[in-house]
Amino acid sequence: MKSVEEIKSAIEAAIPGAAVELVSNPSPSGQHSLRLAPECAVAVAKFLRDDAELALDFLSNVTGIDWPDSLEVVYHLYSVTKKHGPVIIRMHTVNRTDQVELPSLTPIWRSAEFQEREIFDLFGIIFTGHPDLRRLLMWESFKDHPMRKDYVEPDDFEYEPTAHDEVLKRAQAHKDREQGSGIREQGPTTA
């Protein structure tokens, strides 16, 4: 497999004007990554998937990161056909407040669909071009994004009704009937 530096050069040769930055990783893993400018990310993603030598046909995971000045999304790519990877690509938002849009890579790798939804839900990144961008873990009326560093848990927790509410009501009614009729639960008897 090509090195990250070679992949960066191949992207820049194939996509004129593509803004790709090498992000080095000094840790023992040494998994360097490529930060893409959002405006060229979809074209770069198509190149990475369709290039005969790279053939990065599998996106294993997507995660969000909350930095002090922006939000970032990290994608891990592999080639099932060529049996190599990962190649790690990143994108970051302009800021953390009102410019939090990034292009969705779901049209390139279908496995990004739920993972981008989760990041939207928990971090608030809006993925333009996503086929079904709605909350995945929190309910629709939930305000805020609980994985952000500045998230503050409310004093009065919002309550979402669940299917368990009906079960709890029936259990309480049963318990009340037993107590009202004088029936008591009997514990184990000793001989």
pLDDT tens digits along 147-190: 999 988 876 665 666 677 777 788 888 888 888 766 555 555 55
Measuring CA to CA, which residue among 42, 46, 38 is closest to residue 21?
38
Q: Is the pLDDT of residue 4 over 80?
A: yes
Q: What is the pLDDT of residue 168?
A: 76
Q: What is the pLDDT of residue 29?
A: 85
- Predicted TM-score (pTM) of the model is 0.80
Q: Answer with the residue of higher pLDDT: 186 or 2.
A: 2
Measuring CA to CA, which residue among 98, 92, 86, 35 is closest to residue 65?
92
Q: What is the pLDDT of residue 186?
A: 55
pLDDT in tens, 41-53: 999 999 999 999 9
pLDDT in tens, 97-154: 999 999 999 999 999 999 999 999 999 999 999 999 999 999 888 889 999 999 888 7
152: amino acid identity, one letter: V
Q: Answer with the residue of higher pLDDT: 12 or 168.
A: 12
Q: Is the pLDDT of residue 13 over 90?
A: yes
Q: Is the pLDDT of residue 73 over 60?
A: yes
May I ask the CATH class of domain 4-178?
A: alpha beta
User: What is the distance between the alpha carbons of residues 90 and 106, in angstroms, rounded to a whole number?
Assistant: 15
User: What is the distance between the alpha carbons of residues 18 and 16, in angstroms, rounded to a whole number?
Assistant: 6
Q: Which token pair is 66?
A: 């909350």
Measuring CA to CA, which residue among 83, 37, 22 is closest to residue 58?
83
